[in-house]
Amino acid sequence: MTPDEVTFVFGVAAALAEEQAAATIYRLEGTEVAGRMIGEFEIQANNCRSAASGRTPVLGRSGRRDAAGDIRQEGGVPMTRTREEIKKDIVDQLYWDDRVDAAEVAVEVEEGNVVLRGSVPTLIARHFAAANALSVSGVHSLDNQLKVRYPASATAPSDEQIRSNVMNLLEWTSDVDAERLRAHVDHGIVTLEGTVDALWKKLHAEEVISELTGVTAVDNKLTVVPTKDTTDEIIAESLASALKRNPMINAHAIEIRVANSVVTLTGAVPNWAAREVVYNSALHTLGVIGVDDQLVVAD
């Protein structure tokens, strides 16, 4: 670990017992000390319960589903879902969601790895299709190859109209300063340039324009320039505390590395919902300018 990199390694359960919290070890250059560390350090929380223990399972549609979202037979043995079961659930989920026109969407599944092919009429529908696929139990990864194809029966706006709509919408969005942003459009592909003061605002700007008619893709080149000073240590501590407070986080072990305000997440989580919570927690932490999400969804 380099001097400009901060690492947190901790087990996260739905609730940490007081004795577990007391087992947190602070290390500074190999020496155990008490209190808050300044400089290069690690935090290790020991004796964390496993994700499935100490929880009350709730009824699932086949077997029992524990708080981690894993489907289990009576006796606690995990059930392996077949490719056909996973594919059927994804297709059903896509057709259930009224926001997604799934008529031209094809689903492929192999060992929990999902590929979406075909086309949808809007960029936001492409995002919704991905979210629906990831919500299905047994999905380990997603390759979203859906294309955005504007309906032939409708008249697509010109690039200049799209650019004007983009800038108007950004001006109406209170969370971003549109005066610091620029937009260019080429065949429906919007390129955003400029600066924002928080990483979540960069992604928020992309999200709001994704719903505009005629937008087929967004190339987000916005630069994050925080207006408040912070340090890697403060970022790491703040994110670690946020994850411990969140009852939805039940990963066996999550590692947080912070270097030059960029957070790297590694470790295993039980499902995509937990992964999204961890990622969003990093995204919304003050001072973060980038998130490298290397979390693995494990059965």
pLDDT at 153: 76
- Cβ atoms within 10 Å of 145's Cβ, excluding its own: 13
70 has a pLDDT exceeding 80: no
Which CATH number is 159-224's, of 3.30.1340.30, 3.30.200.20, 3.40.50.180, 3.30.110.40? 3.30.1340.30
DSSP 38: -
Residue 271: what pLDDT? 83
CA 138, 142, 145, 147 torsion-angle sign? positive
Please give the residue that has the higher pLDDT: either 9 or 62.
9
Residue 152: its pLDDT value, please? Answer: 76
Q: Comparing 53-57, 75-79, 230-234, which segment has the lowest mean pLDDT? A: 53-57
- Which of 98-112, 131-145, 244-258, 281-295 shows the lowest per-residue confidence on average (mean pLDDT)? 244-258
Weakest-pLDDT range from 138-142, 144-148, 260-264, 291-295: 138-142
Query: Do the two domains 83-148 and 159-224 of this chain adopt the same fold?
Result: yes
* Bridge partners, 28 (sequence order): 31
Using CA atoms, how far residue 291 sits from 22, 206, 248, 287, 295, in Å, is 29, 16, 20, 11, 11
Asked which of 197-201, 205-209, 248-252 is least confident by mean pLDDT, the reply is 248-252
DSSP 138-196: T--EEEE--EE---TTSPPPPHHHHHHHHHHHHHH-TTS-GGGEEEEEETTEEEEEEEE
266 or 156, greater pLDDT: 266
Q: What is the mean pLDDT of residues 167-192?
A: 95
| Rounded average pLDDT over 33-59 | 30
Give 83-148's CATH code, choosing from 2.40.50, 3.30.1340, 1.10.10, 2.60.40. Answer: 3.30.1340
Residue 80 has a pLDDT of 79
Q: What is the pTM of this model?
A: 0.69
**147-160: average pLDDT:** 86
pLDDT over 80 at 60, yes or no? no
The residue ranges of every structural domain in the chain are 5-49+229-297, 83-148, 159-224
pLDDT > 70 fraction of the chain, expressed in percent and rounded = 72
| pLDDT score of 259 more than 80 | yes
**How far is Cα of residue 274 from the mean position of the Cα atoms in its chain?**
9
